[in-house]
A and B are shown apart, each in its own frame.
Chain A
Amino acid sequence: MIYPILRRLGQMLFVMFGISVIVFLIFFATPGSDPAARIAGRNASPEVLEAVRHSFGFDRPLYVQYVLMMKKIFVTGDLTSFVNRGWKVVPAVLDSIPVTLSLVFGAAVLWVVVSIIIGIVAAATRDSWLDKLLMALGLLGISMPVYWLGEVMNLFTQSRYHDTWLFSWVPPLGYKNFSDDPKGWFLTLVIPWVTLAILYIGIYGRVLRAAIIESMQEDYIRTARAKGLSETRILLRHALRTSLIAFVTLFGLDFGALVGGSALLTEVVFGLQGIGKLTYDALQSLDLPMIMATVMYASMFVVIANAVVDFVYILLDPRVKTS
């Protein structure tokens, strides 16, 4: 049991190393990308360029620059921004992690619970008006872009209907620390959670319904019927259980990506200073240390999420373990 875990950890480290090298090379070694020129600004004289180059260490060999940067991210933690000199990058990333995690975790709980209910109900009442209604709603949820939905939510909860009983509880935009103000934390995040979850509820509900209906065609469902089990039990214990495998795959990918910064649009719309927002701002100003740090963080989460998914697979499907 120890050996596979170690091997898995090794694979994760290798993937992260690969990602860091690729990102580093894209920004530092692509022809025409001269970080010194960007920092020095337009019309900088060759002398200034040279000075910048030396000051930031761009005149040293690439591998030295790479190792230095990794050391500053992972060991000393004192990597500073190119754009905002003196601004430490690692604490900035660490500060934004709770924001993104709060947003994505809450939304994930919401979308997993609701989509499982929708998937089961739709599959159980297959081809009925209820099934059709749920699937139409799911499609609607998928087709609403999150930035648009977020703005509409804001329009309703912050402005148009803010003074009615319905939304008067909604606090102004922004993030409140859980440790300082748990109630405020919860209330500010409710609307972002719902907004982010709606898309995934639509996708997951539809995927789960299809998977359950496919499972219901399997031979072992006929066996379960021949055993004299109730339809509810057949659906929940036999069909749903085998359908969750596709569901978990999808979840691992989406969750990892969201925590790694894909929740950007939601973060921007609701004024949450999360990882997505941080990465976005860094890309705007081509702040390489910050980009490097957020990418490393994101890749770490994607890799971890995938490892967790593989582990859950083993729990869900005993066939994975032996093959």
Chain B
Amino acid sequence: MMLSVRDLKVSFRTDDGLVRAIDGVSFDLEEGEILGVVGESGSGKTVSLLAVMGLITDPNAVIEGSIRYRGRELVGLPARELRRLRGNEIAMIFQDPMTALTPVYTIGWQIAEQIQAHRKVSRSVALARVEELLAEVNFPNPREAMSRYPHQLSGGMRQRAVIAMALSCNPALLVADEPTTALDVTVQAGILDLVRKLRATHNSAVVFITHDMGVVSELADRVMVMYAGRIVERGSRAELFGDPSHPYTRALLGSIPPLTGEKPRRLPAIPGSPPSLLRLPKGCAFAPRCPARYEPCDGAKPVLTGGSHAAACFRVAQA
């Protein structure tokens, strides 16, 4: 097992009390596997992966639980050792390529900086590697792109530069946080191809965070659906898309327009909005919006039950 997260809890101390953004998340990731993490904004998908990366720097954050990467416990690991992993074995791609690069340095400089932070190589060797990387992420003219500043590139090109940077040290694990959300659909497809290629050539494992079910259905081996800081359903792509069991997953799938056949005049939407983390219901967090709600839902929080395909729902457990 490459990555094994157990009972991860992330809370933030605020003026209104402790806010639990992640409440007991557990999942595993095999080498070379692509895991899709789906959920609405605020469901905790980004925070849980930032915790894995050790990138929650807020002094008011409290992180509990266990994150084991290739047998090493990351929670509580000294900053220096965590730094040696970060950018080297574990890399991350962020949501907004517009702001993810330092505006005052060239693309080549920024990528070479990461290589030299982890490898004892000369500047020229690092820059030669940058050129290879930029070619790998389909820059038509990598040498020229290296001397460009971020503001001189389009959004899609910047995101590819960010990806090239993440790949620079051949990471075993790549965390992609909505890497296509800010981009055009055509550019999106190119980025997804790149992620696939990366897995094929480097056998890297990928955690792909998104709110786009369509992207997940194309890319992921396994899928994890999150709601209000908890996992509500997880399973292989076939299980989750072929036989969704949690009402929330079903509702999410119901809101994708069909590609063939007659299009509905209005896409079904999930009524209501996600709960505030400050005032979570006592029972199931999705209950107030759930069409299948019944008595047990308000009593206690449902736990994830099942084998490889599991859901946190009383209806499912009962059936």
Contacts and interface: CB of A to CB of B under 8 A. Distances in A.
A316 interface: yes
Contact of B84 (A226, A228, A241): A228
A226 B53 contact: yes
A318 B149 contact: yes
B101 A223 contact: yes
Contacts of B104: 241-242, 316-318
A228 B85 contact: yes
Given A220-B99, A223-B100, A318 B151 contact: yes
A323 to B, nearest CB: 8
A42 interface: no
Nearest to A318: B149
Interface in A210-252: 218-220, 222-231, 233, 237-238, 241-242
Contacts of A318: 103-104, 149, 151
B86 A226 contact: yes
Max chain A Cβ within 10 angstroms of own Cβ: one of B53, B94, B104, B117? B104
Nearest to B57: A225
A7 interface: no
Interface residues of B, number: 31
A227 B99 contact: no
Interface SS of chain A: helix, strand, loop or mixed? helix
Contacts of A76: none
Contacts of A227: 86-87, 113-114, 117, 165
B102 interface: yes
Given A227-B86, A227-B114, A322-B152, A219 B165 contact: no
Contacts of A223: 94, 100-102, 162, 165
A60 B197 CA distance: 85
Given A227-B117, A228-B88, A228-B117, A319 B103 contact: yes
Interface string B76-90: 000100011111100
Interface string B96-120: 1001111111000000011001100
A317 B118 CA distance: 27
A220 B92 CA distance: 12
Contacts of B57: 225
A223 to B, nearest CB: 5
B91 interface: yes
B55 interface: yes
Contacts of B166: 226
Interface of A: 218-220, 222-231, 233, 237-238, 241-242, 316-319, 322
Interface of B: 53, 55, 57, 79, 83-88, 91-92, 94, 96, 99-105, 113-114, 117-118, 149, 151-152, 162, 165-166
30 contacts: A219-B99, A219-B100, A220-B101, A222-B55, A222-B100, A223-B94, A223-B100, A223-B165, A225-B57, A225-B86, A226-B91, A226-B94, A226-B166, A227-B86, A227-B113, A227-B114, A227-B165, A228-B83, A228-B86, A228-B88, A229-B113, A229-B114, A230-B83, A231-B79, A241-B105, A317-B103, A318-B104, A318-B149, A318-B151, A322-B152
List the 7 closest A-B pairs by CB distance, nearest first. A228-B87, A219-B99, A227-B87, A228-B86, A227-B114, A318-B149, A220-B102
